[in-house]
Structure 1
């Protein structure tokens, strides 16, 4: 928590990452997403306070946009046990690009990667 008694911004970004990594990389049937992706954009909007007593937080995620080399993940963060139809305290998005580490260049998403990501489209 920060001095104002709510979850600190830097911690919120880390919580989004901690939710995204197992959902995306461990859930994917291909290893290529785990071997080469880079975050290209991050947006976070705070719509309400989240305090320490609201944890563990509930984070909903889905694919907002899927393109040839990148995809955007949408997030809604609510206090533990909050109804899904209640307004989220935080909304966010991250744009992730497929990346070839050896060549240090963007690459196209593979068919299996696109299939996996499509399952999570909003």
Structure 2
């Protein structure tokens, strides 16, 4: 299963050439990741992922320029790896007929009080396993 996030484009996202600036795509990934990871914690009173997490690594491939427009872009997210104390989330930023970016992020759950990484809890692992995907993408 993949998490789907509808990401608005902002006027300030655009560079001098009318394209969404390359660094802005990391913000889009962050918005999608937060929307995904915090689906478990709020509402149910679960402490999962609420203690914090840090990004250990980003990898991003810019496939096509995204021209600024008023319509949002879709960010699909899924989990490709779950370790003892880290996970890898993959993404595609796309429209139905074109992919603009393929990316991945290594995320480390973090204990804010202790100021150190922590292990992934059983509850978090069960949630993440629902989003494990082989990452096969459609040709775009």
Give TM class, smaller chain: 0.7 to 0.9
Distance between the aligned counterparts of 2:117 and 2:40, measured in 1?
Answer: 19
* TM-score (norm: length of structure 2): 0.77
Separation in structure 2 between the aligned mates of residue 54 and residue 66 of structure 1, nearest angstrom: 36
Residue by residue over 1:78-113, the C-alpha shift from the partner in whole angstroms, topping out at 9 and shown as x without a partner, is 13xx24xx5x21001111001111111111111000
Higher helix share: 1
Find the counterpart in structure 2 of residue 108 from structure 1: 119
1:74-93 residue pairs with structure 2 within 5 A? Answer: 74-79=90-95, 82-83=96-97, 86=98, 88-93=99-104
In structure 2, which of residues 89, 109, 119 is the aligned counterpart of residue 98 of structure 1?
Answer: 109
Aligned residues: 116
Distance in 2 of aligned mates of 1:54 and 1:73: 27
**What is the match of residue 24 of structure 2?**
11
TM-aligned CA deviation for residue 21 of structure 1: 0.7
Task: Provide the residue aligned with 2:11 in structure 1.
Answer: none
Task: Could you list the structure 1 runs, at least 4 aligned residues long, displaced by more than 2 angstroms after superposition.
Answer: 29-32
Match of 2:72 in 1: 56
TM-score by length of 1: 0.87
Which stretches in structure 1 are left out of the alignment for 5+ residues? Answer: none
Match 2:40 to one of 28, 44, 59: 28
